A and B are shown apart, each in its own frame.
Chain A
Amino acid sequence: MSGDGMANAERAQPVLTARKAGLVGCAECGHVHPKGTPTCSVCGSGLASRDSASLQRVWAWLIAGMVIYIPANVYPMLRTTTFGATQESTIVGGVIDLVDHGSIGVALIVFVASVIIPVSKFIAIAYLALRVQRGKPGTSTHFHLYEFVEFIGRWSMIDVFVVAILSALVQLNFVASINPGIAAVSFALSVAFTMISANSFDPRLIWDAPEGNPV
């Protein structure tokens, strides 16, 4: 859609946005319409030059995701019952256990997927949102950052998938059984909220400069 445009924009400063050009691009299919066109003639979705409520949604989902991330780390992720002995482990506790058992690789994967990525997403989204809110014009780096956040967000669900698969498979009654804890739901919600937050972000705002400070 706008890959070439973006590449061009990096090199040509200042950037001429569609908005400055009196056009409005479709966020879904990328087709450009003259300003004032209510719906996209190609895909039929609503057209808006800028989503005025975008930042509100970003912040709202982001805060929700951050809030829900706290119990996801405090409460146990897994409840493992082995021969009648029940062991509850949180995310970080599980990582430490894995390190203790020598599975550093697995521990690294879990740690990156469950801790580093979500926290990076929080930081990245907050950074971008703050930057837009303060009216600083973004660069292509910022846009790459946004794309990376949007891309990587789904991989944070790897923990949730592991828990779901284990819970479904390891139900051997007395010998061993694994049940998801509260943290599993919380973590899944946190990842989902973060993804929604990232999706809510209108990347076109990166290019906008505040009023009275046209580039």
Chain B
Amino acid sequence: MSDPTPGDMKVTPRKTSIWRNLSFVWVVPFLALAVSLGIAWQSFADRGALIEVSFENASGVVAGETTVRYREVVVGTVEDVRFTEDLNRVVVAVRVDNDVAPYIDAEAMFWVVRPEVSARGISGLSTVLSGVYIEGAWDNVPGDPAQSFVGSDTPPLNQPGRPGQRITLATDDGTTISYGSPVLFRGVEVGRLETPRLSADGRTVLVDAFIDAPHDSRLTMATRFWDTSGFELSFGASGFSVDFDSLASLVTGGVSFDNVYENGEPLPPGYVFTLYDEESVARRNTLVRGPSQGVPFTIQFSESVEGLEAGDDVTYQGLEVGVVTDIRSRILETQSGPELLLLVGVSIDPQRMGLPTDAGAEETVEFFRFAVESGMRARLATESLLSSDLRVELVVLDDAVPTTLREVEGEPPRLPSVESNLSDFTATAEGVLERINALPIEEVMQQAINLMNAVEQLARNEDLQRVPGSTVALLEDTRALVGNEAIQAIPAQIETAVNDLTALVAEVREGGAVASLNSALASLDEAMVGINEASKTAPALTRNLARLTEEDIPAVLAELQGVAQTAQDLKLDELVASATATLNSVDALIAQEAVQGIPAAVTAAIEDVRSIVAEVREEGAVEALGSSLRNLDRAMADISVASQDAPALTANLRQITETDIPELLAEIESVARTAKDLELQALVDSATSTLNRVDALVGSEETLELPGTLNDALTEMRLALVELREGGVVENLNATLQSASDAAGSVAESVEDLPQLTARLERLVAETETVITSYGARSDFNTQTLSALRDVQNAAKAISELARAIERSPNSLIFGR
């Protein structure tokens, strides 16, 4: 191979135009660049929206690994896990896919899915190996995307996009319910409970529940919830039974509900259901609100509340309107020292009192304020006749002492209470028991035993063996006698007699004596009114009398004095002496004791008369008295007028005396002289003798006996009056009633004895039957005896029925009903 010689190839410089020589291969790097940029842009564009979810803790959440799922489909990844600024919570930054980002609005919820093994089953098993993931839930309507969310550690019950209704239950005890407990409707799970929480005031435990559609449409005001937690043991005649709803409710508790009546009212917003302890309580309790939602009141009782417990009913005329919530005591400082009060707290359901559904405490208290002023009071009452359990009863009393609802700031209003009539019930029951206890049962038994012994001895007697022959005849007679209609009719007659007696008593009662007495008293009252009116005219009469006395009488007296002086000259000494003697006789008469007894008799008579004023009402004596007083008044007025004429009269009289009398005297003197001549002495003697005879008459024993007779007459009259008064209708009525009462008592006593008599008769019959049986089952004697005894038994039954009839209604003896 020869050495190559350098060629003369001309090397020309390369064209400067870079584009002409540009190789096609340059497409490749630009393509690569474009593809890379495209990938970068795509991954940037597809990285999705960043949201932040805060959790209590981030247990199991790992940045870059933990996924976010929606309906178990991965829609995002946790990018970052950090704390909030105050380190209280963990913030998980999640990159979610763009296609679901628009749906994640403020309604969205996130929770961590962890493996969970509970009584309701195993969930989240896939996360055992793969780690936890975050489950999200949101509705299918795009909304305004939100950035921050608060996640929970447990799945929320009401997830967005899940139809149903969220309700709230209230209960007193939250120990038996827990998160996730099932809500059952006729044993089918239709919802779940959330975590129980305490109410703001701490009185109740509230728990939210979510009822899935379509079961939530069953919720109405008629819905009652009850606790089905645990199991129920019952041991009875049917054996031992264990009852529980489901394994889940056994372990975690459960709640069932049902409607206690159809077509319940729809639920108002914010309605809180009451969770009852037992189904029977829930079904029985028609209170719309439970004790925790009722309006609290307190009642102060001054008597023992033994037998009253929390949970007892509060009734209004038998309708349950509330429950007793608590019973407590309190020291009240009074002026007379501390006083112990018994306060019973009650919870009243406004709706049971007829108030509107949305009535709150204000309306309820207002209603009770009015009701208390109208007479509503609380009192204790027994649940039943035999038990000592009490309940609180709201009653409206017409005669209640007026009071008001006592309202103190910071505590429930206090309803006024009244004494109950519990003690009467107890006393009555005790009386009944004591009476039963006092029945002479033992004696009766002893007598029965004695009777049986006697009968037995009789039956063993050999003489009795010979008796049947003659006994048959005797029994036939007896049978005829017993079968006699007259004897059968005896009870009817007794009943008729009792009815007659009853009618008699009723007649006496309806006789109207009392009414008469009342009308008499009314008349007396009227009479007193008349007297009063009449006494009003007395002052005028008195005034007339005074005027008469002061003005006219002196003049009259002066004139009369003149007349007297003139008359003094007249010779009347003997006449005077005779008159004196007569007066002496009269004085002696008066001095007699019998005469002195007259005033007392008259006084007594006056008293009697006074006592019968009421009975002489018809005659209008008082009116007559009044009118007579008025007449007297008029008469006195006439006297007054007349007395004004008296001076003239006396002047005339004086003139007559001064001028005419001397003449007259002269004439008289002459006449006297003439008379003296005319055996005046004889005349005087005769007059004197006449007076003496009068004196003798007056002084005679017959005349002396006259006062005694008068006295006797007055005494008799008084006795008659007393008799009239004391023998009045009232006493007769009383006596009659007393007799009737005695008769009723006697009947009652006899009735008391009737059962014993009946029992003894029945025992006797039974024993006798036993004895007779020993004589042969089919013998003639036996048959006869049996039939006779049956008759006796029938008679005894008739008497027994009568006794029972009287016993059932002893009142019929008295009232005839």
Residues of A participating in the B interface, judged by any CB pair closer than 8 Å: 16, 18-23, 35, 52-53, 56-57, 60-65, 67-68, 70-71, 74-75, 83-87, 182, 186, 189, 193, 200, 211
- CB contact between A61 and one of B7, B28, B67 (< 8 Å): that residue: B28
- Contact present for B36 and A67 (CB under 8 Å): yes
CA distance A83 to B65 in the complex (A): 12
- CB contact between B7 and one of A21, A52, A186, A200 (< 8 Å): that residue: A21
Interface string of B1-16 (1 = CB under 8 A from A): 0011111010101100
- Cβ distance B12 to chain A, nearest Cβ, rounded Å: 9
* Chain B, Cβ-Cβ closest to A63: B29
- Cβ distance A55 to chain B, nearest Cβ, rounded Å: 9
Using Cβ atoms and an 8 Å threshold, which residues of chain B touch A64? 28-29, 31-33
**Docked complex: B28-43 residues within 8 A CB-CB of A:** 28-29, 31-33, 35-36, 39-40, 43
- Contact present for B31 and A84 (CB under 8 Å): no
Using Cβ atoms and an 8 Å threshold, which residues of chain B touch A20? 4, 6-7
Contact A68 B35, CB 8 Å, known A53-B23, A83-B129, A84-B129: yes
30 contacts between A and B (CB under 8 A): A19-B7, A19-B9, A20-B6, A21-B4, A21-B7, A22-B4, A22-B9, A23-B4, A35-B9, A52-B21, A56-B21, A56-B22, A56-B25, A56-B26, A60-B23, A60-B25, A60-B27, A60-B29, A61-B25, A61-B28, A61-B29, A62-B29, A64-B29, A65-B32, A67-B36, A68-B35, A70-B36, A71-B40, A84-B130, A200-B25
Contact A193 B28, CB 8 Å, known A21-B7, A71-B39: yes
B126 adjacent to chain A (CB < 8 Å): yes
**Docked complex: B65-91 residues within 8 A CB-CB of A:** 65, 67
Using Cβ atoms and an 8 Å threshold, which residues of chain B touch A53? 21, 23, 25
Using Cβ atoms and an 8 Å threshold, which residues of chain A touch B43? 75
CA distance A22 to B129 in the complex (A): 75
Using Cβ atoms and an 8 Å threshold, which residues of chain A touch B3? 16, 21
* Chain B, Cβ-Cβ closest to A20: B6
CA distance A83 to B131 in the complex (A): 9
* Chain B, Cβ-Cβ closest to A17: B4
- Contact present for A22 and B7 (CB under 8 Å): yes
Please name 5 further chain A to chain B contacts, defined as beta carbons within 8 Å, in addition to the given A56-B23, A65-B32, A67-B29, sorted by A numbering: A21-B6, A56-B22, A83-B130, A200-B25, A211-B11
Using Cβ atoms and an 8 Å threshold, which residues of chain A touch B13? 211
CA distance A193 to B28 in the complex (A): 9
- CB contact between A84 and one of B5, B6, B36, B126 (< 8 Å): that residue: B126
Interface string of B554-583 (1 = CB under 8 A from A): 000000000000000000000000000000
- CB contact between B39 and one of A21, A60, A87, A182 (< 8 Å): that residue: A182
- Contact present for B14 and A52 (CB under 8 Å): yes
CA distance A84 to B40 in the complex (A): 27
- CB contact between B25 and one of A23, A57, A67 (< 8 Å): that residue: A57
**Docked complex: B119-137 residues within 8 A CB-CB of A:** 126, 129-131
* Chain A, Cβ-Cβ closest to B5: A22
Residues of B participating in the A interface, judged by any CB pair closer than 8 Å: 3-7, 9, 11, 13-14, 21-23, 25-29, 31-33, 35-36, 39-40, 43, 65, 67, 126, 129-131
CA distance A182 to B75 in the complex (A): 20
- Contact present for A18 and B4 (CB under 8 Å): yes
- Contact present for A35 and B7 (CB under 8 Å): yes
CA distance A23 to B22 in the complex (A): 27
Using Cβ atoms and an 8 Å threshold, which residues of chain A touch B27? 60
CA distance A84 to B31 in the complex (A): 37
Using Cβ atoms and an 8 Å threshold, which residues of chain A touch B35? 68
- Cβ distance B9 to chain A, nearest Cβ, rounded Å: 7
- Cβ distance A57 to chain B, nearest Cβ, rounded Å: 5
Using Cβ atoms and an 8 Å threshold, which residues of chain A touch B39? 71, 75, 182, 186
CA distance A200 to B43 in the complex (A): 33
In order of increasing CB-CB distance, the 3 nearest A-B pairs are: A21-B4, A84-B130, A22-B7
CA distance A211 to B14 in the complex (A): 10
Using Cβ atoms and an 8 Å threshold, which residues of chain A touch B4? 16, 18, 20-23
Contact A85 B131, CB 8 Å, known A21-B5, A75-B39: yes
* Chain A, Cβ-Cβ closest to B22: A56
* Chain A, Cβ-Cβ closest to B7: A22
CA distance A56 to B26 in the complex (A): 7
Contact A67 B33, CB 8 Å, known A35-B7, A56-B22: yes
- Cβ distance B79 to chain A, nearest Cβ, rounded Å: 13
* Chain A, Cβ-Cβ closest to B11: A211
- Cβ distance B75 to chain A, nearest Cβ, rounded Å: 14
* Chain B, Cβ-Cβ closest to A65: B32
Using Cβ atoms and an 8 Å threshold, which residues of chain A touch B32? 63-65, 67-68, 189, 193
- Contact present for A86 and B65 (CB under 8 Å): yes
Using Cβ atoms and an 8 Å threshold, which residues of chain B touch A87? 65
Interface centre among B6, B7, B27, B29 (most CB of A within 10 A): B29
CA distance A211 to B40 in the complex (A): 44
Using Cβ atoms and an 8 Å threshold, which residues of chain A touch B131? 84-85
- Cβ distance B165 to chain A, nearest Cβ, rounded Å: 36
- CB contact between A71 and one of B29, B36, B67 (< 8 Å): that residue: B36
Contact A68 B6, CB 8 Å, known A52-B14, A52-B21, A84-B126: no
* Chain B, Cβ-Cβ closest to A61: B28
- Contact present for B6 and A22 (CB under 8 Å): yes
CA distance A105 to B39 in the complex (A): 33
Contact A85 B130, CB 8 Å, known A21-B3, A60-B26, A68-B35: yes
* Chain A, Cβ-Cβ closest to B8: A22
Interface centre among A60, A71, A75 (most CB of B within 10 A): A60
Interface centre among A35, A52, A84 (most CB of B within 10 A): A84
CA distance A5 to B11 in the complex (A): 24
Using Cβ atoms and an 8 Å threshold, which residues of chain B touch A83? 129-130
Using Cβ atoms and an 8 Å threshold, which residues of chain B touch A74? 40
Interface centre among B4, B9, B65 (most CB of A within 10 A): B4
Using Cβ atoms and an 8 Å threshold, which residues of chain A touch B11? 211
CA distance A186 to B65 in the complex (A): 24
Using Cβ atoms and an 8 Å threshold, which residues of chain A touch B130? 83-85
Using Cβ atoms and an 8 Å threshold, which residues of chain B touch A56? 21-23, 25-26
Using Cβ atoms and an 8 Å threshold, which residues of chain B touch A18? 4
Using Cβ atoms and an 8 Å threshold, which residues of chain B touch A23? 4
CA distance A68 to B37 in the complex (A): 10
CA distance A65 to B511 in the complex (A): 139
- Cβ distance B64 to chain A, nearest Cβ, rounded Å: 8
CA distance A211 to B12 in the complex (A): 9
CA distance A65 to B13 in the complex (A): 30
- Cβ distance B113 to chain A, nearest Cβ, rounded Å: 12
Using Cβ atoms and an 8 Å threshold, which residues of chain A touch B129? 83-84
- CB contact between A68 and one of B21, B25, B36, B65 (< 8 Å): that residue: B36
Using Cβ atoms and an 8 Å threshold, which residues of chain B touch A63? 29, 32-33
Interface centre among A75, A85, A182, A193 (most CB of B within 10 A): A85
